[in-house]
Structure 1
């Protein structure tokens, strides 16, 4: 499975982010919206943040330097993303931001 290593910055609860942490017992699913990529601007892309593999909860306001993320439509996404690409994480609203560190 092709994945990207990303840096994640979750919004704090006061900034409108989640009220609960993302637990490490299972992977976390949400759509992402890519910034400045016209080919991917039409809609969000479902992803799985591999939190179980990361092994720790991610709390509102946390910054995670490196975590793996997979996409449900990898052929659509990986042909357009590269190191430095930025995106927003959504869960009925923006809950954080991410930046691609590497493609693995």
Structure 2
């Protein structure tokens, strides 16, 4: 997986999708702490396939806390391999060494 700065440098800044993201609490196996910055690289799992992506929000001061839900823009490292499979309502999981959350596609751009 690439760090978010590498991912953003290798791709256009235009988002591929808009998604509702829920981070699991630590008790449900999620992270112990919030994402350290809102431009955060993570792996999106769709039907047991992994896709590197970066999540961003308009508000740079948001720290997504475990147990919270947020609407974020998502940019894939290789969007051609995943975008054709996404539609509003598509469900996915988030992976960062373990399953840390889940999401739903709201819009595909």
> Partners in 2 of 1:57 and 1:103 — Cα distance?
24
CA RMSD of aligned residues (A): 1.5
> Partners in 2 of 1:101 and 1:54 — Cα distance?
19
- Unaligned residue ranges in structure 2 (runs of 5+): 1-13
Structure 1 outlier segments of 4+, above 3 Å: none
TM-aligned CA deviation for residue 14 of structure 1: 1.1
- Unaligned residue ranges in structure 1 (runs of 5+): 36-40
Please list, as runs of the form range in 1=range in 2, the aligned pairs for 1:1-104 lying within 5 A after superposition: 1-24=14-37, 27-35=39-47, 41=48, 43-51=49-57, 53-55=58-60, 56-64=62-70, 66-104=71-109
TM-aligned CA deviation for residue 20 of structure 1: 0.9
Aligned length: 95
Please give the secondary structure, in 2, of the residue aligned with 1:14: helix
With structure 1 as the length reference, what TM-score do the two structures score?
A: 0.83
TM-aligned CA deviation for residue 2 of structure 1: 4.1
Structure number with higher relative contact order (C-alpha < 8 Å, ≥ 6 residues apart): 1
> Partners in 2 of 1:87 and 1:54 — Cα distance?
23
Please give the secondary structure, in 2, of the residue aligned with 1:44: strand
